[in-house]
Structure 1
Amino acid sequence: MTKTLLALLGLMVLLLGSGVWIGLGLLGTAGGLLELFRPQMPFLKLLAQQAWNVLSSTELLALPLFILMAEVLFRTKISEALFTGLSPWLRRVPGRLCHINVLGCTLFASVCGSSAATTVTVGRITASELLKRGYDRNLVIGSLAGSGTLGFLIPPSTIMIIYGVMAEESVLRLFMAGILPGALLALGYMGYIGIRALMHPEQVGEAPPPTTLWEKLVALKDLGPLLLLIFAVIGSMYGGIASPTEAAAVGVLGAVVIGFAQRKLSLPGLVQAARQAAESCAMIGLIMVGAMVLSTAIGYLGLPRFIAAEIQSWGMPPLMLIAVLLVFYIILGMVMEGLGIIVMTLPITLPLVVAAGYDKVWFGIFIVIVVEMAQISPPVGFNLTVIQRLTGDSMGRVTRATAPFFAIMAAFVLLIALYPGIVSVVPDMLASRP
């Protein structure tokens, strides 16, 4: 069995290190393992069967719709609306307008399952505006990079859909489980910004002009379309009116209406959004097919059982296992993209965590947070690249500015490991309703 494990690692490093697409690398690894150790198993038949099983999943149908919704919203005036609608309310809050990065990303993440799209949409307005008003550059960069990752945790989330399909867990239950952790993580970011502003007042730039309560309420009208869209998408799912797929369809329709109403979306722009969404879905589909074929191959070879038995023989307590997995995923996040991390490691790590007493929904939230950490881990962290393009700063400066928010996420992972009820309370509460 050790030879099989070494062959798996060797083939994966060789293929993925050569620069081939992740999906093709996973398929090549699976095919190579079966050819070496189980040549009698028909690889093409396995490929066809798994491709059909993955791509015909009804829950996966929500994925292209949510991606399309994000692409359409990216072409609207949502980013400007977030800034003008939230600014008047933050004058007296420690940290002032820097909180717009957190609140804006939290709101936009509620209708967008992409971390990169959340970061770009919010950051293309807030980054320049905050820097122009004299806010500390590192605080602006770090808060935007950290908050942008909330696009994966706050539902609807594309990563949660992929995890739900691979782990055979309810996507709606995963969405519910992400609500409280997402809100608490956002509050953690805001708490850090507030404390830092109190300790270093010079890092906070000019405040917005004084406004009356009526002017603040009027400013909220800019957020009206986004709030209505959030209510339509999230409310319809949690109210039991629509499935995730149906809610995603409603979201696409609402995003298109907002875009045309704001006169920011044209027919060519809609076609471009659809084309971009199709390209993203094709890439994700290939990765998922490759991951499921590899998962089936290593399961047939008995690798997950072997690794699980070896780790369990070490006698590690559950919290130690979670700490080890956290370090393991942080290291992987330095050299790999988040989706690739999930699809390659899930067949091995999921049985370990379930055996340690954590359920699959909890592990889904855990792995989403560590993928968020991968988004801001150098040198591959995609959010770091996005921020670098927005601000023009060096990768080193962006990484240093993001470090405190990376530490907050790591601490939050340990918090939900100590108190798993943070993850389960919302889905359990909603499931118990008559």
Structure 2
Amino acid sequence: MSDPVVFGLLLGLLLALLAGGLWVALSLLAVALAGLTFFSNAPTGLVMATTLWGNSHSWPLAALPLFILMGEILLRSRLSQDMFSGLAPWLGRAPGRLLHVNVLGCAIFAAVSGSSAATAATIGRMSVPELTKRGYPESLILGTLAGSATLGFLIPPSVILIVYGVATEQSIARLFIAGILPGVMLVALFGGYVALRAWMNPEMIPVEEGAPSLREKLIASRSLLPVVILIGGVIGTIYTGVASPTDAAAVGVVFSLILAVASGTFSWRDFVEAALSATRTSAMIAFILMGAAVLSVAMGFTGIPRNLAAWIGTFGLSSYALLAVLTVFFIVLGCFLDGISVVVLTTSIILPMVQAAGIDPMWFGIYLVLVVEMSQITPPVGFNLFVIQGLTGFNIMKIARAAFPFFGLLLLGVVLITMVPQIVTYLPSLMSR
């Protein structure tokens, strides 16, 4: 039986299991078991046992629950209110005015949470009622929030970059640094779109009453200082080599606890809820990663990834054509699966093809995150859409329509990093000097 046929059978089995509602991790293990049993000569029980054990205590993976816990703690503090009050005085005169609070607020919270859904929930909880009350257009409120919240996947510390780094054995520190410039690029694209809409149709943006003085702006900015210190402490220690991502995550948890308690709105009950939520999320991701690791080893024994990469090579696709095909593939897959599942499901099979095409795995990680970000705002399984629906009660298709321009901007971001890969590789290259 040819490798493409075997691959098709295993992929069909995986899709059938997922469509049947089986957990992602168990689906991965079932497909790995089928691959080892029917399409290889490997000792199935021994391979699965050693792989599960070997991937259950990965040190780089220890950063994952810590960053998730940091985000959960800050989600339950008054951080979003502080960010709104700190940013609003500076943006009252900008084209689009306070709509930029959604963009910049999401970028800032993304840099301390690592989660797209948490970013949408935290910023949306404060900005949606406030901007609606001030008369800003509903479509832009929803669109800027849905689109900008996807930055939680890209701007470090990113949970999904940790997952990709562990799954592909890439340096998590280098992935974090590689995500900075693309994150800044997306913030500029989102902000530029808001400004362009305001210039084209200025009457839809309400006029802000009064203009705060420089002294009032500086006083308001003090509420941003703790967040800036937290971001600098976490990312700065990683960039300078003072701490590993895991060590920096531990420091971030301590600082976030101090910030939350100092805000006066964080109770012992909030801490217990944050710890339980972080435990559930971390266990789910770790379970999926273990299933993906077994599937990756099983695929190695069957020889499918290597032979499939060679088979695709016979089509003579350029790296650009391969990326175009993969982009469509990931967008379609992301319509039905969450971002982390997309990454762990595909890396073991896709990465050999990517490396055979001469594409840098680190660059590919950032590309993959950008494409997965697009899936967060596409129905039917766009998690940012569900979060915002829970906040506002609006129909999910209405939110998806409002977010569509930002889907286009994310696609433009993919094109830009493909045409100018230095956007991704420049900062990591400085680390290696």
TM-score (normalizing by structure 1): 0.97
Q: Deviations over 1:225-272 (max 9, x none)?
A: 111111111111112211111110010001111111111111222112
Output the CA distance in 1 between the equivalents of 2:176 and 2:423. 14
Match for residue 110 of structure 1?
A: 111
- Alignment-mate amino acid for residue 242 of structure 2: I
State the match for 1:213 in structure 2: 214
Whether 2:51 is the aligned partner of 1:61: answer: no
Q: Deviations over 1:108-140 (max 9, x none)?
A: 111111100011111100011111111111111
Task: Name the count of aligned residue pairs.
Answer: 431
Correspondence list, 1:84-103, <5 A: 84-103=85-104
Instruction: Please list the CA deviations of residues 344-373 of structure 1 after superposition, one character each: whole Å capped at 9, or x if unmatched.
Output: 111121122222222111001001111111
Change (3 A) 1:208 1:148: farther
CA contact (8 A) 1:7 1:33 kept: no
Aligned to 1:27: 29
2:116 aligned with 1:120: no
Q: Which runs of 5+ in 1 are unaligned?
A: none
1:357-398 deviation digits (Å, cap 9, x = unpaired): 221110010011111111111100100111111122111111
Gaps in structure 2 of 5+ consecutive residues: none
Aligned to 2:52: 51
SS of corresponding position for 2:112: coil
Residue identity opposite 2:288 in structure 1: I
> Per the alignment, in what secondary structure is the counterpart of residue 113 of structure 2?
coil
Please name the residue that 1:10 is paired with.
12
Do residues 343 (structure 1) and 339 (structure 2) align? no
* Equivalent residue number for residue 138 of structure 1: 139
Distance in 1, Cα, partners of 2:181 & 2:117: 22
Is 1:177–1:426's contact at 8 Å kept on the other side of the alignment? yes
Aligned twin of 1:307: 308
Deviation at 1:339, TM superposition (A): 1.1
CA shift for structure 1 position 48: 2.3
Flag the 1:388–1:208 CA change in 2: closer, same or farther, 3 A: farther
What SS does structure 1 have at the residue aligned with 2:95? coil
Per the alignment, residue 76 of structure 2 pairs with 75
Q: Does 1:200 align with 2:201?
A: yes
1:412 alignment partner in structure 2: 413
Residue 51 of structure 1, CA deviation: 2.0
Contact 2:103 2:144 survives alignment (8 Å):
yes
* RMSD after superposition: 1.2
Q: Matched residues in 2 for 1:148 and 1:71: separation? A: 15
AA matched with 2:12: G
SS in 2 for 1:134: coil
Q: Distance in 1 between matches of 2:187 and 2:209?
A: 22
Match of 2:398 in 1: 397
In structure 1, what is the equivalent of residue 155 of structure 2? 154
* Aligned residue identity for 1:378: P
In the other structure, the counterpart of 2:376 is: 375
Q: Measured at CA, do residues 42 and 205 of structure 1 come closer, stay the same or move farther in structure 2, by a change above 3 Å?
A: farther
Question: Could you say which residue in structure 1 is the equivalent of 2:288?
Answer: 287
Between 119-128 and 304-313, report the one with greater CA deviation. 304-313
Whether the aligned pair in 2 keeps the contact of 1:237 and 1:247 (CA below 8 Å) is yes
1:389-412 deviation per Cα after TM superposition (whole angstroms, max 9, x unaligned):
112211111111000000010111
Q: Is the 8 A contact 2:42 2:301 kept in 1?
A: no
CA distance in 2, matches of 1:120, 1:208: 28
Task: Supply the distance in 1 between the matched residues of 2:59 and 2:414 (Cα, whole angstroms).
Answer: 31
Inter-partner Cα distance in structure 1 for 2:244 and 2:277: 25
Contact 1:323 1:414 survives alignment (8 Å): no
CA distance in 2, matches of 1:325, 1:14: 21
Instruction: State whether residues 87 and 208 of structure 1, in contact with CA within 8 Å, keep that contact through their aligned partners in structure 2.
Output: no
- Conserved? CA contact 1:88–1:208, under 8 Å: no
Contact 1:72–1:256 (CA<8 Å) still a contact in 2? yes
Q: Distance in 2 between matches of 1:58 and 1:270?
A: 25
Partner Cα separation in structure 2 for residue 398 and residue 300 of structure 1: 45
CA contact (8 A) 1:64 1:281 kept: yes
CA distance in 2, matches of 1:36, 1:134: 62
Q: Structure 1's 3 and 314: CA in aligned 2 closer, same or farther, altered over 3 A?
A: closer
User: Which deviates further from its counterpart, 256-265 or 78-87?
Assistant: 256-265
Alpha-carbon distance in structure 2 between the residues aligned to 1:132 and 1:167: 46
Q: Distance in 1 between matches of 2:244 and 2:155?
A: 17
Q: Which residue of 2 aligns with 1:257?
A: 258
After superposition, the C-alpha distances for 1:53-93 in whole angstroms (9 at most, x for unaligned) are 22221111100100000010011010001110000001111
- Look up the equivalent residue of 2:16 and give its one-letter code: L
More displaced 10-residue stretch of structure 1: 1-10 or 352-361: 1-10
Structure 1 residue 335, shift from structure 2 partner: 1.3
Of stretches 2-11 and 320-329 in structure 1, the one that deviates more from structure 2 is: 2-11
SS at match of 2:55: helix
Matches of 1:155 and 1:424 in 2, distance apart?
A: 15
SS at match of 1:55: coil
Question: What amino acid is the match of 2:19?
Answer: G
Secondary structure of 1:96's aligned partner: coil
Larger displacement relative to structure 2 (203-212 or 352-361) = 203-212
Structure 1 residue aligned with 2:169: 168
Deviation of 1:208 after TM superposition, in Å, equals 5.2
Distance (Å, rounded) in 1 between the aligned partners of 2:337 and 2:155: 22
Match of 1:184 in 2: 185
1:203 shift after superposition: 2.3
**Partners in 2 of 1:353 and 1:203 — Cα distance?**
46
Change (3 A) 1:272 1:358: same
Q: Do residues 322 (structure 1) and 319 (structure 2) align?
A: no
1:240 aligned partner: 241
SS of the residue corresponding to residue 241 of structure 1 reads: coil
Distance in structure 2 (CA, Å) of the matches to 1:172 and 1:2 = 36
Query: Structure 1 residues 357 and 208, CA, compared in 2 at 3 Å: closer, same or farther?
Result: farther
Q: What is aligned with 2:227?
A: 226
Distance 1:203 1:390 in 2: 23
